[in-house]
Structure 1
C-alpha cells in the first residue's frame, strides 16, 4: 500500500464516516471513543485506534491483552489513542465508522468476528490502515492480519494436562465453533495423544465437540464444567473468553467439596489476569498479543506499514505456555523436562502440530 503523509490521511474526506456517525447515534449501543481521545506527553502526530469484540476490554482474555498492547504503544511511542468497546456484533460497523470519522491512522479490530466489518470499512477507506487480530481472510493492501499458531502452545498444554491428571480424564470446550477457538482444542487434543503415545497411557479428552454458543454466558461455562467434573475430568481448558469464568467458579466450588481439579486458561496468563480463582490455574496457553500490537503500530508510525501477516509461533515467542505458579509442585518433573524438549522439537519441525485452523 502507498503510505500517504499523515496530514493527507487525517484530512481526507470520507463519506462513509459521516454515515457511520449517524448510525452510531441512532444505534446508541456501541461505546464510541472519547471525543478528545487520550494522548501521552510529547505525542507524535499519530492516532492509533482499537475496536473490541463483544467481550470488552476487561475480559481477562484476548480483548484485554490486545488493549494492553495499545496502551503500551501509547506510552512507549507517545501516540494518541482512541478505543471503542462493542457490546454486540451490531456495534462493529458503527464503531469502525466512528474511527474513520476520527481519521485514525491505524485501527486495530480484535477478533475473527469483526472480519466482515473490517473488510468493508477498509475497502471504503483505502487511505487508512487497519489490522485485525485472529483473522487472515481479508486480502487488502491496507489490512494487516495478526494471527497465532496457538495449536503449538496448546499441544504443550495438552501434554502437561495428560501428565498431571489424577483421573485419566481431561476436558476442553469452546465458546463458538470458529477457527480461533478450535485451533486451541485441536492442539490440546494432539498434545494429550502424544503423551499417550510416549508413555503408554490412555488419558481421555472430553468435550472436543462441546461449545456454549457464546463468549458471554458465564452460567453455560459453569454448567459445562460441572458436567465434565461429573464425568471424571479433573483438568479443564475453556476456550471461551469471559465464559471461562464459569469454569473457574465450578472448579473452585468442586475443590471446596473435596475434588482436586484444575483449569488451563487461554490467551493470557490467567494466574496474572484473573481477580479470583487463580489458585486453580495449572497453566495458560498464551497469545502474546500486546507485543504484536505494539510492533504493528510502531511499524506504521515509521511509515513502514505492510499487509504481510504477523504469525505468532513458539519460535518467535508469539505463543507460549505460562508458568505453573501455585501448581508448580503438581506437575511432575519429568513432564516439565519433556515439555521443554517437545517445544524445541516443534520449533525444529521434528514434531508437527496440525489443525485445519492453523495459519497458512
Structure 2
C-alpha cells in the first residue's frame, strides 16, 4: 500500500505557518510522509516538489530547506516513523500497530509507550508504522525487515497471520507479538500474552460490590480470545461476589457458558459502542466494562451523558489505565483492567538486544505484575474500605491458587 505526499500543499502550509512542529507529535517529523498524509491530500512527491520550486511559487530559505527535507525523507511505501541519532546504538527495535493506531488510548498506545521507553532507556533506535487497514499488515512488516529492524513487535491478535508469514520468510529476524500465541509460530517469534481473566475477575467483584442497581454489563469488539478472556474473568468475579455475599447481581452482555454475548463487530464503531452502552443503561446496568479498544470512548460518552442527566453510572476501562490515557472520561472511570504492556515490550526488547532472545511466551499475571487493577483515582471514595480489603485478599488468593480463575482463552 503506497503512501504519497502532496508537496505543493505541504510547501504552502509551511509558507503560511500552518504546519508546525506541534503538528507532528509522537515521533513524527516533516520527513515522515505518513505523518504528512494525516494532514494533506495525496499527490506525486518528487515531481511536484521540483516543479513547485522551479516555478518559484514560494521563496525563502526556510521553504527551500523544508522542501529538501521532504525530498530526502520520503521514500518507498510503507514508510515508518523513527527516532534515533548517530550517537545511539545501531540496534533498531520496531513496532507495527493494528488498524486501531498508536493513539487508540488502549493496547496499541501502551505497546508504543514500551517501544519509546526502550529507545530512551537502552539508547537504541526505533521505528514504528501505523496500519490503516488489515491489508497493511504484511507490507508494513516486510518494510520493517527491509529497514534493518532487529526485533519487530506486532500489536494484536489481528496481526497473527502476517507475523507468522513474514517471520517464516525471514528466519534471521526476530519478532514478538502482543496478545497472540500460536504453537505453529516459527522459532523467531516470541508471544507476549496476558492472563487478563485474573485482573478482570477483580473488576467483576468490584463492579458487583459497588453497583447500586444490582445490574452490571460488558460488551466486546469481536468475539475473539483476547476479548472474551476479559469477559470470562469479569463474569466469574460477579459470580464469586454473589456467592460470597449472598447477592444476585446480574451480568448483562456475556454468557460465559455459551461463550456468547454482545459485540460491536469491530474495534472502530465508536457510535455503536455508545448505542450498546445506552441500551445497557436503559436496562438498569450502572457499571459497564467495554472490551473494544477505541470503541470504549463510545461507552464513556454514553455514561457521561447519563451522569449529566442524574444517573450514577461508572465505566471500567481495559488494557491501559483509562484515567490517564482517556482523561475525557476520568470522572466516570471506576478502575481499569490493565495489561502492563509497556513493561513487557521493553523487557523483551532488552533481552533481544542482549542476545538473549527466547521464543517461549511471556505471560503477564497478577503475580508478575503483567496484569493489574488500576487505582480508583477520583472515585476512590466510592469504593468502601471493606471492598478494598476484599480485593487485596482476593488478589493474594488468586496468586496463591486458593481462588481459581479459569477461561478457555487463558494462555496455556
TM-score relative to the length of structure 2: 0.80
In the alignment of these two chains, the number of paired residues is: 335
**2:302 counterpart of 1:250:** yes
Q: Which runs of 4+ in 1 moved over 3 A?
A: 23-26, 28-31
Q: Secondary structure at the match of 1:107?
A: strand
Q: 1:262 to 1:279 in 2, by over 3 A?
A: same
The one of 304, 311, 328 aligned to 2:363: 311
Aligned to 2:92: 47
Deviation readout 1:243-291 (Å, 9 max, x if unpaired): 0000000000001001000000000000011131211000000000000
SS of the residue 2:379 aligns to:
helix
| Partners of 2:342 and 2:245 in 1: CA distance | 37
Contact 1:49/1:108, CA 8 A, preserved across alignment: yes
Q: CA RMSD in A?
A: 1.4
1:293 equivalenced with 2:345 (yes/no): yes
The structure 1 residue matched to 2:252, chosen from 200, 206, 211, is 206
* Correspondence for 2:275: 223
Structure-2 change in CA distance of 1:305 and 1:338 (3 Å): same
Q: Aligned equivalents of 2:94 and 2:127: distance in 1?
A: 5
2:366 and 2:87 map into 1 onto residues whose CA distance is 36
Please give the residue correspondences for 1:51-70 in structure 2 after superposition, counting only pairs within 5 Å.
51-70=96-115
Q: Distance in 2 between matches of 1:109 and 1:204?
A: 37
Partner secondary structure for residue 230 of structure 2: helix
- Are the counterparts in 1 of residues 218 and 290 from structure 2 also a CA contact under 8 Å? yes
Structure 2: unaligned runs, 5 residues or longer: 5-33, 38-76, 255-260
Aligned to 1:171: 217
Match of 1:276 in 2: 328
Partners of 1:254 and 1:310 in 2: CA distance: 40
2:127 to 78, 82, 95: 82
**Residue matched to 1:97:** 142
Q: CA deviation at 1:306?
A: 1.0
Matched, 1:356 2:408: yes
CA distance in 1, matches of 2:363, 2:85: 29
**Alpha carbons 1:32, 1:85 under 8 Å: kept:** no
| Structure possessing the higher relative contact order (Cα contacts under 8 Å, 6 or more residues apart) | 1
Post-superposition offset of 1:240:
0.2
Query: Which protein is bigger by CA-based radius of gyration?
Result: 2
* C-alpha distance in structure 2 between counterparts of 1:259 and 1:253, whole Å: 9
Partner of 2:79: 32
Q: Deviations over 1:322-358 (max 9, x none)?
A: 0001111111211110000000000000111000100
User: Contact conserved, 1:24 with 1:95, CA < 8 A, in 2?
Assistant: no
Tell me if structure 2 keeps the 8 A contact 1:45–1:80.
Answer: yes
2-side partners of 1:274 and 1:81: how far apart? 25
Equivalence map 1:8-27=2 (5 Å): 24=2
| Residues in 2 aligned to 1:264 and 1:40: alpha-carbon distance in whole angstroms | 40
| Counterpart for residue 151 of structure 1 | 197
Partner residue in 2 for 1:116: 161
